[in-house]
Every structure is written in structure tokens, then in C-alpha cells.
Amino acid sequence: MTTLVKVVTCELEGEFDDYESVWNDFLVLTNRLPDITILATQRHVFQNGGLSGVVIIGESHLAIHTWPELGRAYALFASCSSDESMSKFKIELARHWSVVRSSRE
């Protein structure tokens, strides 16, 4: 059986108080991934400054959810794009925050 969608999840640690900066960093790292086509973005900022954001791509989606009061975030990349793209996701996240746990090494 062929896997149609690959998923990488990462738990992150770092500074998430500035939701604008976090969102911009997430968009920049998304743009650095090969073999994806960005179609739309959407974000929601909570009263505590937490952020939930999604980038819809032609190949599926990327998402980030932050808990600034805990210094934690969760990021996800689901896609049928190349393995190179999936691997680069974790590398790009690590440029901005500490990757505490990842579903794909």
C-alpha cells in the first residue's frame, strides 16, 4: 500500500510571546520548503497571545499552535510532497526554536 500523505509533527520550545514575529517566521520557513505550492494562510490570535495558524498548500497543509505562557508550540506538516521537503521542515523550525520532540527524525 502506498502512503499518500506524510506527516511531521514537532513540539517546540522557545519565545512565543510576539505572535506577529512567530507567524512571520513560520511563513518565511514555509516559503523555504521545496516542492510546495502555497494557496492560502489563516491565523487566529487568542486573548493570551497564543496563536493558531495554518498554511494551506496544494499538497495539504502546515500548522502552528503556540502557548506563550508555557514557552511551547506545536507544528505540523502534512503533505504528499517530497521527502526533502518533509526533512527540511524540521531544519527550518530549528532555525527559530528548539525542537523538543519530532515524529520524524
Reported as a single tens digit per residue, the pLDDT across 8-45 is 999 999 999 999 999 999 999 999 999 899 999 999 99
Nearest alpha carbon to residue 100 among 78, 77, 72: 72
Q: Is residue 1 part of a domain?
A: no
Residue 25 pLDDT: 97
List the domain range (segments joined by +) for residue 72.
6-102
In this structure, are residues 75 and 30 in contact, taking their beta carbons and an 8 Å threshold? no
Catalytic residue (one of 52, 61, 80, 82): 80
**Which CATH number goes with the domain that contains 29?**
3.60.90.10
Say if 50 falls within a structural domain.
yes
Return the pLDDT at 3.
67
Residue 10 is a catalytic residue:
no
- 65 included as an active-site residue: yes
Question: Residue 4 — pLDDT band, cuts 50, 70, 90?
Answer: confident
At 98, give phi and psi (nearest 5°): -85, 130
Q: Does residue 60 carry a catalytic annotation?
A: yes
- Is position 82 within any domain? yes
Total number of domains in the chain: 1
